Amino acid sequence: MENAERKKRIFSAIQPTGTPTLGNYLGALRNWVAMQDEFECVYATANLHAITVRQDPAAFRKAQTELYALLLACGIDTEKSIFFHQSMVYTHAELAWVLSCYTQFGELSRMTQFKDKSAKHADNVNAGLFTYPSLMAGDILLYKADMVPVGADQKQHLELSRDIANRFNNLYGDTFVVPEPYIPKIGARVMNLQDPEKKMSKSDTNAKSYILMTDTPDQIIKKFRSAVTDSEACVRYAEGKAGINNLMEIYSACTGKSFEQIEQEFEGKGYGDFKTAVGEAVVAVLAPIQEKFRQYMGDKAFLETCARENAEKALAISSRTMAKVYKKVGLLRY
């Protein structure tokens, strides 16, 4: 996997903090599947990142297993990609410590996510929350990732990862690949169904505002029927129609139809018909994933074996990076 002819390598991880939403799927996870044919992909559940917020241990273990099963159900293929739980590969924590010694306090202080999460969890502003970007840099740099798929909320962290890699390389010579941001060719930005000016998020207090990937068909249809729209009662993509624009984005992402085709399809029809059609299109996309998810969850032994085997592959690659880093900084190694 380390030869000069290899495909470009991509690293990406997702936190196991609740079931992913339709927004997570259409905006990112669907691309994880699509990228497997073009790139050498390394994927992980970012469970070490998740403990910056207090987790209930039993619920947390369940969430990690469910996320792993759900991503396999989406189409992550471990014959093509490496997919593991971050905590199973000790080099992540190991490199995070070394890199935290090459990350400046001022750089971490400027991270907007630290400021946001500190305000949200004011009773638990821990050091891990502050040094989180050093762990994220370690995740990426361990695998000599050429590219990292990034949304707007992670651009700052990737820039810091690049800065850390360059700083280390300047001090010790060529050690890390400096990763580039990767903007996938497809990727819908799915907004909140009740407040379409905001991004869809499972942390929203209103359950009607988001679609979980495990929601039942009835729940999905009901949530779309209650989605906020406008008083025009005309299905068209335009400024000032955030609710309808969002539903058109979702319908387009699920059916492959252009906005023009959607406008023609629903010409002379009301919003009720359109909302139902969007719900049915989402149900059709999620149904086969949900079926596979149930099958995987019925075989916990397979999920555990698969995660372990993939963690061993990840450790084999990342251990080589770690050995190089220790040698560069002069640390003795067992």
**pLDDT tens digits, residue range 303-325?**
999 999 999 999 999 999 999 99
> Cα 60 from chain centroid?
17
Question: What would the mean pLDDT of 114-132 be, rounded to a whole number?
Answer: 83
* Whether pLDDT at 4 is above 90: no
Same fold, 9-188+300-329 and 207-294: no
Predicted pLDDT at 125: 87
Q: Which of 107-111, 162-166, 230-234 has the highest mean pLDDT?
A: 162-166
Write the DSSP symbol of residue 208. G
CA gap 286, 267 in Å, rounded? 27
Helices 300-329 and 91-100, interaxial angle, to 10°?
40
| CB distance 99 to 13 below 8 Å | no
328 carries an active-site annotation: no
Predicted pLDDT at 152: 62
Question: What would the mean pLDDT of 63-68 be, rounded to a whole number?
Answer: 97
Percent of the chain predicted with pLDDT > 90: 81
| CB distance 196 to 247 below 8 Å | no
* Whether pLDDT at 25 is above 70: yes
Predicted pLDDT at 5: 64
199 carries an active-site annotation: yes
Catalytic pick among 8, 80, 202, 292: 202
| Domain residue ranges of the chain, discontinuous segments joined by + | 9-188+300-329, 207-294
Quickly list DSSP for 256-314: ---HHHHHHHTTT--HHHHHHHHHHHHHHHHHHHHHHHHHHHT-HHHHHHHHHHHHHHH
Predicted pLDDT at 186: 64
Question: What would the mean pLDDT of 10-15 be, rounded to a whole number?
Answer: 96
Task: Give me the chain's average pLDDT, please.
Answer: 93
* Whether pLDDT at 202 is above 90: no
* Whether pLDDT at 118 is above 90: no
Residue type, 18: G
Catalytic pick among 199, 223, 241, 275: 199
- Kindly indicate whether the domain formed by 9-188+300-329 is annotated with CATH number 3.30.499.10: no
CA gap 122, 129 in Å, rounded? 11
Catalytic pick among 8, 80, 115, 117: 117
CB within 8 Å of 250: residues ≥ 6 apart:
22, 26, 188, 190, 278, 281, 282
327 carries an active-site annotation: no
| CB distance 16 to 63 below 8 Å | yes
Q: Which CATH superfamily is domain 207-294 in?
A: Tyrosyl-Transfer RNA Synthetase (1.10.240.10)
Reading the block at residue 215, the tokens are: 């929601």
Write the DSSP symbol of residue 327. H
Reading the block at residue 146, the tokens are: 């050429």
Strand segments, DSSP code E, in the chain are 9-14, 40-45, 82-85, 147-149, 180-182
Strand segments, DSSP code E, in 128-176 are 147-149
| CB distance 257 to 277 below 8 Å | no
Give residue-wise pLDDT tens across range 208-242: 999 999 999 999 999 999 999 999 989 999 999 99
| CB distance 210 to 23 below 8 Å | yes
Question: What would the mean pLDDT of 164-193 be, rounded to a whole number?
Answer: 91
* Whether pLDDT at 269 is above 80: yes
Question: What would the mean pLDDT of 159-167 be, rounded to a whole number?
Answer: 95
Between 256 and 2, whose confidence is greater? 256
